[in-house]
């Protein structure tokens, strides 16, 4: 099996997929995409992923996009160890949870934007900025760039996003069983959530676990797994 991963170290979706690959014990050839210089919008990368986002996994010459879809694909072609529930109800619950977590990404991006990308965009002239946007393939993402670069998120908006992310932890607090989110067994639901929780505990709400003991235990168990260390969840703020 030939697997080539195009990813970025601090990308939440890339972290998810790296963790999944490590849990599966799958070897891959990694290529880092430099988001700071817009490599994800280069013609060479757009030929692999027309949406210009990371990660992309190329399996035997065929490209796959969207981290949760890739994880399910890998679990299907390499069933052991299983990282999706066997029970149909739990499988549906897992998919609903991953969809919910993915829906929170805009809240995470509001915080992530402040580190690196915003400063770079601020140094550009309007002409340079608009020229850069020409390579962004999505009109929606172009508008998101314009908003974040030229009208930075307010503290009130960041507080709203923080509340949304803490609400995720509140839901987790009532779901966790045996340090796992679905069916009492560690799997894709936990892996999908880990990059979000990493950012919460690092910067967004470092004291969040103080009132959420189940989440604290879950996070401690997850970060002790050998695959977590290999997946490179290094500091976002470094």
Domain segments of the chain as ranges = 3-77, 88-112+154-229, 114-152
Percent with pLDDT over 70 in the chain: 98
Model pLDDT, residue 152? 84
Place of tokens 């140094």: 123
Helix (H, G, I), strand (E, B) or coil at 177: strand
**pLDDT tens figures, 152-207:** 889 999 999 999 999 999 999 999 999 999 999 999 999 999 999 999 999 999 99
Q: Is the pLDDT of residue 116 over 70?
A: no
Q: What is the mean pLDDT of residues 54-80?
A: 97
- Cβ proximity of 120 and 36 under 8 Å: yes
Q: Which CATH class is domain 88-112+154-229?
A: mainly alpha
pLDDT in tens, 80-114: 999 999 999 999 999 999 999 999 999 999 998 87
pLDDT digits (tens, 9 = 90+) for 18-49: 999 999 999 999 999 999 888 999 999 999 99
How is residue 193 written in tokens? 């959530």
Cα angle, residue 38 at apex, residues 35 and 40 outer, rounded to 5°? 75
| CA gap 64, 161 in Å, rounded | 30
CATH code of the domain occupying 3-77: 3.40.30.10
Q: Where are the alpha helices (DSSP H) in 81-138?
A: 88-102, 105-112, 117-122, 126-133
SS3 237: coil
The neighbour count for residue 45, using CB atoms within 10 Å, is 19
Q: Under a CB-based contact definition with an 8 Å cutoff, are residues 26 and 52 in contact?
A: no
pTM of the model: 0.94
231-to-7, 54, 118 alpha-carbon distances in Å: 12, 15, 26
């Amino acid at each position: 099996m030939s697997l080539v991963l195009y990813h970025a170290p601090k990308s939440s979706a890339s972290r998810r997929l790296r963790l999944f690959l490590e849990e599966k014990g799958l070897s891959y050839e990694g290529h880092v995409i430099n988001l700071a210089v817009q490599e994800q919008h280069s013609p060479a990368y757009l030929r692999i992923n027309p949406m210009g986002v990371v990660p992309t996994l190329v399996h035997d010459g065929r490209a796959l996009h969207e981290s949760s879809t890739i994880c399910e694909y890998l679990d299907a072609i390499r069933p052991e160890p299983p990282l999706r529930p066997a029970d149909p109800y739990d499988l549906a619950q897992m998919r609903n949870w991953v969809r919910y977590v993915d829906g929170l990404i805009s809240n995470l991006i509001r915080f992530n934007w402040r580190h690196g990308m915003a400063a770079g965009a601020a140094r550009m002239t309007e002409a340079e900025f608009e020229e850069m946007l020409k390579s962004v393939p999505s009109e929606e993402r172009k508008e998101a760039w314009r908003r974040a670069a030229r009208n930075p998120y307010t503290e009130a908006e960041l507080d709203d996003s923080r509340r949304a992310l803490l609400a995720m932890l509140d839901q987790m607090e009532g779901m966790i069983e045996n340090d796992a989110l679905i069916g009492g067994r560690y799997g894709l639901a936990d892996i999908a959530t880990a990059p979000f929780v990493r950012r919460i505990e690092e910067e967004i709400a470092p004291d969040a676990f103080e009132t959420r003991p189940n989440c604290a235990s879950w996070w401690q168990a997850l970060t002790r797994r050998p695959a977590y260390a290999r997946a490179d969840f290094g500091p976002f703020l470094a």
